[in-house]
Amino acid sequence: MNEYADLLIIGAGPAGMSAALAAASSGARIVVLDDNPLPGGQIWRDGPQASLPDQARQMRERLQANSNIRHHAGTRVIALAGAKQLLVEDADRGWLIGYDKLILCTGARELLLPFPGWTLPGVTGAGGLQALIKGGLPVQDERVVIAGSGPLLLASAATAKHNGAQVLRIAEQASAVAVAGFALQLPRWPGKLVQSFSLFDRHYRTGSHVVAALGNDRLEAVRLRHRGKIVELACDRLACGFGLIPNTQLGQALGCALDGSALAVDAWQTTSHTDHYAAGECTGFGGSELALVEGAIAGHVAVGNTAAARNLWPRRARWQGFAKALNSAFGLDPQLKSLAQPDTLVCRCEDVPYSALSGHVGWREAKLASRCGMGACQGRVCGGALQYLFDWQPTAPRPPFNPARIETLMCLDDTPPV
The 10s digit of each residue's pLDDT in 98-153 is 999 999 999 999 999 999 999 999 999 999 999 999 889 999 999 999 999 999 99
Burial of 323 (0-12, 13-18, 19+ CB in 10 A): middle
Neighbours of 193 (CB within 10 A): 13
Nearest to 261 by CA among 291, 282, 288: 282
Tell me the pLDDT tens digit for each residue of 73-95: 999 999 999 899 999 999 999 99
What class is the 112-242 domain?
alpha beta
**Amino acid identity of 280?**
G
**Amino acid identity of 305?**
N
DSSP H or E run through 318: helix 313-329
Q: What is the gyration radius of the CA atoms in the chain, in angstroms?
A: 21
Is 243 in contact with 111 (CB distance < 8 Å)? yes
Tell me the pLDDT tens digit for each residue of 269-286: 999 999 999 999 999 988
Any idea what the Cα angle at residue 82 is, between residues 78 and 87, rounded to 5°? Answer: 25
**Amino acid identity of 54?**
D
CA atoms lying within 13 Å on the CB side of residue 163: 23
Burial of 67 (0-12, 13-18, 19+ CB in 10 A): exposed
Average pLDDT, the chain: 92
User: What percent of the chain has a predicted confidence (pLDDT) above 70?
Assistant: 98
Helices (H) and strands (E) in the chain, counts: 13, 21
Q: What is the pLDDT of residue 1?
A: 61
SS3 assignment, position 400: coil
Query: How much is the pTM?
Result: 0.93
Burial of 326 (0-12, 13-18, 19+ CB in 10 A): buried
Tell me the pLDDT tens digit for each residue of 17-67: 999 999 999 999 999 999 998 888 888 887 777 778 889 899 999 999 999
263-273 burial string, b = 16+ CB within 10 Å, else e? bbbeeebbbbb
Distance separating alpha carbons of residues 189 and 187, to the nearest angstrom:
5
Q: What is the pLDDT of residue 377?
A: 81
Nearest to 289 by CA among 158, 148, 176, 188: 188
Is 191 in contact with 199 (CB distance < 8 Å)? no
Any idea what the Cα angle at residue 160 is, between residues 159 and 165, rounded to 5°? Answer: 150
Q: What is the pLDDT of residue 201?
A: 86
Instruction: Please report, for the chain, the start and end positions of each structural domain, with discontinuous segments joined by +.
Output: 3-109+245-326, 112-242, 340-390
Q: What is the pLDDT of residue 38?
A: 87
State which fold the 3-109+245-326 domain adopts: FAD/NAD(P)-binding domain (3.50.50)
Q: What is the pLDDT of residue 396?
A: 77
Tell me the pLDDT tens digit for each residue of 344-400: 999 999 999 999 988 888 888 888 888 888 888 888 888 889 999 998 887 778 889
Quick check: do 3-109+245-326 and 112-242 share a fold?
yes
